Structure formats: C-alpha cells, structure tokens
C-alpha cells in the first residue's frame, strides 16, 4: 500500500504552517507523499474574501514546488456541488484502491470533528492525523484522538510539530494593513499576492523608468509556470546574443532586447478564457480569429501588461512584445530579434519542417531576415498541419518576407 497524506483546506493563502504540518506528518508517519488539495469556495465563507480557484492553485503550486514528496491535487476543485470530506475520501479510495490515506488536520478541528458530515464514514476510508494547533496542545490533541478513535471506532492519531502562530486570516489582515508577510508565507506567494492585487490590495506596478531586471525576474518567476519562466529567460539571453550579432549592440539596445525577451510572454500565466475576459474588460480589441484562437492574444495583452504593470514606456519594446507571435511586415530589428529568439531559444525542442531547428538557429545568427522567413515558413507548415486558421497578420508578414527572400535571391 502506498501511504498518501491529504492536506485539505481553502489555502487562502497557503502559508508556512501548512507546509510545516505536511512535513511533520510525512516524517512521523513515513508517508510516501502529501497531496495539497484545495477545496472549492465553501458556502459559509464570504465569497469576496476568497481568492479564485485559479489563484489559490497557483499559490500552492509555487509554495510546494521542488519540495520532495509534496504535490498538488485539483481533485476537490474539479467536483461539482458541495464537497463533503467523506465523499471526497470515498471517491479517492475508489480511484486508488492501493492507497492508505492519511487525512491531515489541525488539532482544533478535532473539537468539531464529530459534527462533520458523516465522521464515521470519513474514518472508514482513512486514518486521521492531527497536529497541535491554536489552543490545542500536543497532550490534548493526543487525548482527543483517543476519545474520537474509541467513540467512532476509527484511527485518529496525533503527530507533533512546533506550533506556529500563522493563519490565513492573519495574513489577509496584514495585507490590508500594508504590512510585510516575511516569515508567514513563501516569498513567491507574497509576491504573487502583491502582483495580482489579491485580498483587496491594489495590484502592484513598477513606477515608470525604474524597472530593474531583478524585479522583473521576481515577478515573472512568481507568476509564470516554471517551464514558461525558463523559456522566458532563454528568450532574453538569446535576444541579447542576437542583438550583439546584428548591430543592435549599444548598451541601451542590449538592455531593450533583454527586457523585451523577459516580458514577451508575461501575459501567458492567464488561461485563454481569462485572457479573453481581461481584453474585454480593458477594451482591447479581439478579432474573430483571435476569439477562436485565444493563443494569439497574449502578444497584445503582454504589451498591455508590460506598459501598465511593469511601467515599460519604450514603444519599441512594447511593439516587439505585441508582434512576437504573428510577426508583421517590415519588422524593426528588435521585433525580428524577439520573434526569432522566441522560436530558437535553447529550451525549445521541436521537430520542425521544412527547416530543422538547427538550421534555423544557425541562420538567425548570420542573416536575421532569412531566419524570420524560415520560422514563418515552419509556422505556416505547422498551422496547416494542425488545420489552424492563419491569422491575417501572420499571413501578411509571411507574404512580405517571402517576397523579400525571392527578390534577394534574384
Ligand atoms: O508563446 P510561445 O509558446 O512562446 O510562442 P508564440 O508566442 O509564438 O505562440 C505560439 C502559438 O501561437 C502556437 O500555439 C501557434 C500559435 N499561432 C501563431 N501564429 C498563428 C497561431 N495560431 C493561429 N491559429 N494562427 C496563426 O496565424
Ligand atoms: Fe508567446
Ligand atoms: Fe514565447
């Protein structure tokens, strides 16, 4: 049997005590893993006080990333209607008959455990592990465990941990007072909260003209998924290399290439549906093709965020972000650099035709226009294979660079 711990809760937001609790349970009961399983907005809590499922999910993922044995589960979020723990556990057990489930709770929850929905059913499917929490010290947790175990004939066991006086409510209060969250939750979580303006604060934006690379990095690394973030770093580095090869090499130009590379996908942490609604809210036009293929929107929206969140005023940078997905006829040097860097950065591993990635990479360093053309040819090939509609801008750009290449060849 696999020993699997489940830590449920609203995680609104996740904090260090959650992590410590999962860690202590895992160590003391030799669990193979612990699943962090956020619940949907419970009916008895004020809706506006609870961050969306999407936000809470991202904060959890950021908080547990890289910690051995910890993983995220959207099992409860995906269920409809009221979710009772007893039902969740029985469904989980049905899906994973080889799991021995350990349901992790705070000792204070033991006080009301018997009033939960079907507590004996809960104990039929799992062992409950309880930690000392709030006013319930370890000795009392132990007593409560014994009492409930006996009364409901199940396994309720205590585990020890150093008590931490952290609660999500306290964090939300601190945020409203404008206080720092140091020591309460992982740095990436507090950055996420500020950047997105959760729990009633103004979304963070950089003051114009004082954007530092570290600040951009910090924001990106706490909003983008890890793979996307590494891609972004790859594009920034590649853009700087390309810029220095193609005479776009003053210090200011290199910095521009880097900034545009870093920010080109900054809107990509939103789901496609969210991107559509943000565009609608902000009055950013959506063409019918974009509506059908929302993957096309993140260039426009990225330029919008770069300007309004990151305080970028340089129109060259904004335009490079704007057109990085489709390209456009007669691009500026920086637009071309970002367009090709996006395709060829070292983390990309794609099988492409008619030009291999190796050929594309080599060419882009020698002849930028030819590189742009090759990528457009590959993209059109890919899109037609996928039966995808070609965006008007993509088509116009291709026509321009195809013509240019023929003229050059003549
Ligand atoms: O954001 P990245 O993944 O780094 O790369 P990107 O900005 O080039 O976006 C790639 C996506 O854009 C890919 O899913 C294909 C899509 N795309 C690019 N041009 C067109 C397009 N999709 C449609 N339907 N039509 C286009 O013309
Ligand atoms: Fe992109
Ligand atoms: Fe990209």
Give the residue with greater pLDDT, 255 vs 205.
255
Residue 200 reports pLDDT greater than 90: no
Please give the distance, rounded to the nearest whole angstrom, from the Cα atom of residue 260 to the centre of ligand 2.
11
Per mean pLDDT, which range of 214-228, 252-266, 395-409 is the poorest?
A: 214-228
Residue 299 reports pLDDT greater than 90: yes
DSSP 185-206: S-HHHHHHHHHHT-TTPPPP-P
Residue 188 reports pLDDT greater than 90: no
Please identify every residue whose CB atom is under 5 Å from ligand 2, which is an ion. 265
pLDDT at 205: 62
pLDDT band at 257 (very low <50, low <70, confident <90, very high): very high
pLDDT at 43: 56
Peptide bond into 354 cis (omega under 30): yes
Q: In whole angstroms, what is the distance from residue 364 CA to residue 343 CA?
A: 10
pLDDT at 46: 60
Ligand 1 atom at minimum distance from 394 CA: 27
Q: Is 383 in the pocket of ligand 1 (CB under 6 A)?
A: yes
The reply to whether the predicted model has a pTM over 0.85 is no
Residue 310 reports pLDDT greater than 70: yes
pLDDT band at 166 (very low <50, low <70, confident <90, very high): very high
Q: In whole angstroms, what is the distance from residue 210 CA to residue 216 CA?
A: 11
**pLDDT one-digit tens code per residue, 339-387:** 999 999 888 888 999 999 989 998 998 999 999 999 999 999 999 999 9
**pLDDT one-digit tens code per residue, 39-92:** 987 655 565 688 888 789 888 987 887 789 999 999 999 888 778 999 999 999
Tokens 């009033």 correspond to 115
pLDDT at 305: 94
Residue 154 reports pLDDT greater than 60: yes
Q: What is the average pLDDT value for the chain, to the nearest integer? A: 91
Best of 289, 325, 348, 391 for a ligand 1 pocket test (most atoms within 8 Å of beta carbon): 325
Q: In whole angstroms, what is the distance from residue 174 CA to residue 83 CA?
A: 30
Q: In whole angstroms, what is the distance from residue 185 CA to residue 165 CA?
A: 12
């Amino acid at each position: 049997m696999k020993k699997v711990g489940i830590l449920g809760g609203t995680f609104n937001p996740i904090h260090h005590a959650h992590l410590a609790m999962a860690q202590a349970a895992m160590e003391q009961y030799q669990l193979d893993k612990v699943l962090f399983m956020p619940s949907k907005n419970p009916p008895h809590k004020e809706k506006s006080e609870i961050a969306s499922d999407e936000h809470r999910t991202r904060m959890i993922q950021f908080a547990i990333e890289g910690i051995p044995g910890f993983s995220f589960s959207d099992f409860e979020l995906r269920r409809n209607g009221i979710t009772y723990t007893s039902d969740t556990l029985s469904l989980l057990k049905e899906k994973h008959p080889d799991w021995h489930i350990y349901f992790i709770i705070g000792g204070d929850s033991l006080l009301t455990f018997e009033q939960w929905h079907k507590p004996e059913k809960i104990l039929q499917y799992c062992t409950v592990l309880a930690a000392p929490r709030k006013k319930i010290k370890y000795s009392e947790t132990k007593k409560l465990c014994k009492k409930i175990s006996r009364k409901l004939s199940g396994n309720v066991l205590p585990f020890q941990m150093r008590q931490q006086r952290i609660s999500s409510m306290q964090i939300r209060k601190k945020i409203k007072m404008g206080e720092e969250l140091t020591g309460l939750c992982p740095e990436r979580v507090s950055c996420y909260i500020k950047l997105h303006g959760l729990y009633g604060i103004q979304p963070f934006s950089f003051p114009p003209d004082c954007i530092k690379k570290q600040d951009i990095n910090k924001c990106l690394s706490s909003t983008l998924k890890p793979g996307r973030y590494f891609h972004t770093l790859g594009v920034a580095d590649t853009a700087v290399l390309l810029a220095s090869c193609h005479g776009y090499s003053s210090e200011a130009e290199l910095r521009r290439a880097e900034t545009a590379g870093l920010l080109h996908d900054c809107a990509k942490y939103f789901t496609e549906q969210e991107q559509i609604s943000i565009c609608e809210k902000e009055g950013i036009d959506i063409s019918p093709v974009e509506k059908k293929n929302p993957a096309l929107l993140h260039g426009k929206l990225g330029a919008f965020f770069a300007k309004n969140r990151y305080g970028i005023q340089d129109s060259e940078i904004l335009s490079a972000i704007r057109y990085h997905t489709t390209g456009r006829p007669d691009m500026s040097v920086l637009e071309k650099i970002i367009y090709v860097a996006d395709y060829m950065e070292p983390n990309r591993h794609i099988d492409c035709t008619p030009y291999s990635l190796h050929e594309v990479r080599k060419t882009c360093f020698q002849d930028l226009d030819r590189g742009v053309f090759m990528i457009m040819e590959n993209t059109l090939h890919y899109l037609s294979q996928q039966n995808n509609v070609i965006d008007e801008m993509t088509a116009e750009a291709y026509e321009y660079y195809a013509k240019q290449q023929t003229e050059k060849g003549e």
